[in-house]
Amino acid sequence: MYTQALNEKPPSDTAISAAKARPEDAAKLARFQAIIDAEEKIEPNDWMPDGYRRTLQRQISQHAHSEIIGMQPEGNWLTRAPSLKRKAALLAKIQDEAGHGHYLYSAAETLGISREQYYEQLLSGRAKYSSIFNYPTLTWADMGAVGWLVDGAAIMNQIPLCRCSYGPYARAMIRVCKEESFHQRQGFEIMLTLCRGTPAQKAMAQDALDRFWWPVLMMFGPSDKDSMHSADSAKWKIKRFSNDELREKFIDATVPQGKFLGLTFPDPHLTFNDTTGHWEHGPIDWSEFKRVLAGDGPCNRQRLRNRRTSEADGTWVREAALAYAEKRRQRLAAAKVAAE
């Protein structure tokens, strides 16, 4: 239960596909890879190796679960937003995240697993969702930090996914990225307002950065040497950049923004390397990442409990909708018989 643990490194999906390949599949596999190498899209009805399908089912559904669970940390501040304007913006952002979850479940369903099965994987604790959503949002400044940093990291990871080889995922990402960019800006604007406010407000913004910085860096996933899926995902052009490359791009983009805010980063080793032109960071505490994935982060239990409660509370709505659809179907069928 609650397991998000890192699994043992399995045999690579390419290796499994190759081992299982029957002679007639070799030609299909070659054709499949040629489509990908030519930068064309794989569509739901196209032939694809099992490993490609499983990778996408896993990644897209985890991504969808992240959007849905990711509504909770911000939902925590809806009733305490400091003004009507802030409340309206936060509400709209959270609704956008729900929309992203649903586009992503739709994309994942095209791979042969139903939305109900994906929900079941989440609710039973078998499926992962992004580690970042297991951290609490303690102050209003966290709404700034989530938008600025969490959505900022999400965009960095998702812009390349707009070019992912699987058509439905790539297309869903285009709208998601447009909305995430807006979320990032509203978060940065909350931080800017706080940093230009009273010393107490600026201290609140600094505290939010201090608590979110390292967990946000972990969002990009394990370092490349420990990333078990990256090799296959790169070959299949699902991933265009490695976890470490995206983490570095994010740090390079974000450090100047933090400096503009007049904030400091909670990393004494953060230094600009003039030779490489990149910021270098101190060691990431991967034991914390593993702990959170294993279900022992600050909010893992609460997040899943809330999700299960919402699912149970919504049962009557789903049942009523199905009963209404059935009545309507019967009425239309009866009207058709009467008209004949």
Give me the residues that bind ligand FAQ (CB under 6 A), please: 4, 6-7, 58-59, 62-63, 66-67, 70, 97, 128, 130-131, 146, 150-151, 154, 157, 218-222, 227-230, 233, 243, 293
Looking at beta carbons, which residue is closest to ligand FAQ?
70
C-beta of residue 293 within 8 angstroms of C-beta of residue 5: yes
Residue 319 has which token pair? Answer: 């049942």
Residue 213 Cβ vs ligand FAQ, minimum distance, rounded to whole Å: 14
**Of 63 and 303, which CB lies nearer to ligand FAQ in the complex structure?**
63
Would the CA dihedral through 227, 221, 94, 175 be positive or negative? negative
What lies within 8 Å, CB to CB, of 338 at 6+ separation is none
Give 180 or 202: the residue with its C-beta nearer to ligand FAQ. Answer: 180
The token pair at 118 is 């994906």
| Residue pair 217/247 in contact by the 8 Å Cβ criterion | yes
Residues 6+ apart with CB under 8 A from 332: none
User: For ligand FAQ, which is the closer residue by CB, 157 or 206?
Assistant: 157
- CB 205 → ligand FAQ: shortest distance, Å? 18
Minimum distance of ligand FAQ from residue 188's CB (angstroms): 13
168 or 221, CB closer to ligand FAQ? 221
Residue among 25 and 296 whose Cβ is closer to ligand FAQ: 296
First-to-last CA distance in the chain? 56
In the complex, minimum distance from the CB of residue 305 to ligand FAQ, in angstroms, rounded to a whole number: 18
> What backbone phi and psi angles, to 5 degrees, belong to 266?
-80, 50
The DSSP H or E segment spanning 272 is strand 271-273
Shortest Cβ distance from residue 244 to ligand FAQ (Å)?
Answer: 10
